[in-house]
Amino acid sequence: MNRPARPWLVLVAPLGLGLIILTIWYAVTATGFVSARDLPTPAAVAGELYASMFSPADIWPFVWNTVQEAVAGCLAGLVVALPLAVLIYRSRVVSAAVIPFLGATQAIPAIALANLLIIWVGYGLKSIATLCALMVFFPILVSSVVGFRHIDKDVLAAAQVDGAGSAAILLWIELPLALHSILAGVRNGFTLSITGAVVGEMVMGGRGLGSLLAVQRGSHNMPGMFATIIVLTALAAIIYSGVSLIERRWSDLTAPPPRGGR
């Protein structure tokens, strides 16, 4: 049985792994094993990161634009995925008809979707947010369906005996009990939404971190590209951790009391 990690281990283990990666990175660049043209030194990346964060032409407007696109896409994906998850959960016909097609759509690469959206929607925020929504739709849908299907049937039967209607059961019983799984889908989907925003900006234009990466690639600014990638990973980690915290808080609130205790 898996035991929860101790609080100090949650902090120390990632820092230890990060230190090991940083040491290896420094070693391969300091010894000349890898050319600085292909892999910049940690010091060069740190300098570029500091300059991009605190110079007059800082990176924050690019971060804000990417976050806006990712949030808009994630919300749009959630608005479509959650009602469809309810339909799949409650209707065997809908489930049998939809599930095979949903699995097939995951084989379509994001870059192909981006080029189609340019033709259908055009350039700009709307098309990038649509790409993000398409990328987050499947993980949110699947996680939500799993959450609904794992609800205790005895709880639903008791609610029906008490005379609760279908809408009331959904609103007050099924959605709260499935919220843990729904949030897990949002957590995974939001990180994909960041990826979708970056891909969209590189293909469809924009003013976010993806467009900044495209400019840095064009000028072969390797330290700048690494600095931007670090910002992207930090952004995704912050969002992932934030949703995970909400998820854990909700689990604590809805957990049954321990047996034998008050």
Residue 254's pLDDT is: 65
Among 16-20, 55-59, 181-185, the least confident range: 55-59
Which one, of 188, 183, 178, 189, lies nearest residue 147 by Cα?
A: 178
Task: Report the share of the chain in percent with pLDDT over 70.
Answer: 92
Chain centroid to Cα 42, Å, comes to 27
Q: Which CATH architecture has domain 59-252?
A: Orthogonal Bundle (1.10)
User: Helices 7-30 and 42-54: crossing angle, nearest 10°?
Assistant: 110
pLDDT digits (tens, 9 = 90+) for 125-140: 889 999 999 999 999 9
- How far are the Cα atoms of 143, 150, 166, 256 from residue 180, in angstroms, in the given order? 9, 11, 21, 14
Which spans in 205-258 are helix H?
209-218, 222-254
Three-state DSSP at 15 gives helix
Which one, of 105, 183, 170, 193, lies nearest residue 144 by Cα?
A: 183
pLDDT digits (tens, 9 = 90+) for 80-96: 999 999 999 999 999 88
Residue 5's pLDDT is: 56
Residue 8's pLDDT is: 67
Overall average pLDDT of the 239-262 stretch = 71
Which one, of 156, 150, 152, lies nearest residue 168 by Cα?
A: 156
CA R_g for the chain: 23
Three-state DSSP at 59 gives coil
- How far are the Cα atoms of 9, 31, 35, 203, 230 from residue 40, in angstroms, in the given order? 31, 12, 8, 26, 13
Our CA dihedral for 43, 47, 48, 50, rounded to 10 degrees, sits at: 130
Domain range summary for the chain, segments of one domain joined by +: 59-252
**Band (262; pLDDT cuts 50, 70, 90):** very low
**Cα 217 from Cα 48, distance rounded (Å):** 14
Structure tokens at 8: 């100090």
